[in-house]
Amino acid sequence: MKHLRTPLLALLALIAAVTMAACGSDSGSDEPSAATDTTAPPAQVTWVSWQGARLPVSATDGPAKVTGDLATGYSNTPQGAALAAFQGTIRLSLAPDESWAQVANKLVAPGTGRDTYAVNRALVSVSGPAPQGTAPIVRGYKFTSYSPQRADVSLAVEQDGTLAAAQQTVVWTGADWRVLLPEPGHEPTPTPLANLEGFVSLTE
């Protein structure tokens, strides 16, 4: 059984990563409201360490509850969606063997993507934190589409000195945002970035 090390491109294309390791109303204004402004950063952001990675946490937008390897409780806003996408993606990528199934069940929406992830994840082993200097570094995000029910967001991370971004989707369950993993054959293709122009910065 192989140990999963998460390279940059695999981090954002979760199914590909595991497979490779194993083989509203009109307000009269043009300005967006605070609840739907996709270019505003999350409020009161702090950073926490988990499995060798540093993850953003907002006192306003979530996660409101962190229990072990689980992070839940996000605001139904663009900022909450972006944080849920980062938290869910990285936690799925680095979750250890004893908790990855629970992480997938709690942070991922049901569907073919989650089922495929579970099958492939069972073929690899993550026994501890990412080695020093190898964990992805959260850099920023930008939305390609957003509604209170579904958000498509491009996540920018840096790893091994390379900055790149790839699409992630989260869906609102009625109580929280969950990652919607792609079906096999529809994994996102990461795009190298020269800089964070057009992205909302989350650099620590």
Q: What is the pLDDT along the chain (204 residues), one digit of tens a residue?
A: 334 443 334 444 443 343 333 333 333 333 444 568 999 999 999 999 999 999 999 999 999 999 999 999 999 999 999 999 999 999 999 999 999 999 999 999 999 999 999 999 999 999 899 998 889 999 999 999 999 999 999 999 998 899 999 999 999 999 999 999 998 888 888 999 999 999 999 988
Task: Output phi, psi for 22, to 5 deg.
Answer: -85, -25
**Is the dihedral angle over the CA atoms 141, 151, 134, 9 positive or is it negative?**
negative
For residues 45 and 53, what is the distance between their CA atoms, to the nearest angstrom? Answer: 16
Domain extents in the chain: 2-19+41-201
Rg (CA), the chain: 16
pLDDT at residue 8, rounded to an integer? 37
